[in-house]
Amino acid sequence: MSSNGPKAITGINTSTSDFASLQPTIGGGDFFVSFLPTFYVSLIVVGIILLFITVGSTSMDNLNGTIAGYSLIAAGILILIGFLMMNLSTSSEKKPESLTKNNRQIIMSFFYTSGPFLVTVGIISYILYLLITYKDRIAEGNIAPGYVSFANISIILILMQLLLFYFGTKKSSFKETSRLDRVYSGLLYFVGILNIITVITIGIILRYFSTDG
């Protein structure tokens, strides 16, 4: 599984056409903006690789690697959200429509496209809180067996969200409007809700079903 996940996401970075619908609308070829997709994809891919290498291990070094992996993914997603909003704002300014209508479209596009990733960032933030709060307990192995299983499920769900977004950007509707269609957006929110349930379960396991030694 660890080899398939990173390859699928790395494909976004290596194909020059994957973000063709986004890059031309921003900055008139500005190097910094054109570099953003490579940057956030790299952060996410490295973060996922770190998670697959370290998750499930209770040693302190591997736990630090897991924390670093989640942090890189969160940073990459935040940059992705900013990139999407920059593209959306630029494309909206080019449309000869009323300001009110453009603002409404920006809000809807944010809800459909960037909203699910804000949920993911919130999930990762809570996971980081749990890992840091119960770091010693996890490193000493004083955790219930279910922790590792649910931690793996959470990683898989995050990977599913990233893959859904990738496939959503390949749709013609996204290339025209910079907005995911409702099907992909709904799936992203659904997977996000499943992950919320998963990380809450992880929190319950760490708090109530683990010991301090």
Integer-rounded Cα Rg, in Å, for the chain is 19
pLDDT, one tens digit per residue, over 37-58 is 888 889 999 999 998 888 767 7
Greater pLDDT, 6 or 144: 144
- Which pLDDT does position 3 carry in this prediction? 42
- pTM metric for this prediction: 0.75
**pLDDT over 50 (residue 24):** no
- Which pLDDT does position 86 carry in this prediction? 79
Which range has the top average pLDDT, 1-15, 35-49, 75-89, 170-184? Answer: 35-49
**Exposure of 119 in the CB half-sphere (CA atoms within 13 A):** 25
- Which pLDDT does position 42 carry in this prediction? 92
Exposure class string for 188-203: b at 16+ Cβ within 10 A, else e: bbebbeebbebbebbb
Q: DSSP per residue over 45-93, as a string?
A: HHHHHHHHHHTT--SHHHHHHHHHHHHHHHHHHHHHHHHHHHHHHHHHH
- Which pLDDT does position 191 carry in this prediction? 95
pLDDT, one tens digit per residue, over 143-196 is 888 888 898 999 999 999 989 988 888 887 777 776 788 888 899 999 999 999
Instruction: Output the six-digit token pair for 152.
Output: 């793996």
CA dist 50 → 15, 36, 57, 71, 72 (Å) = 23, 21, 12, 10, 9
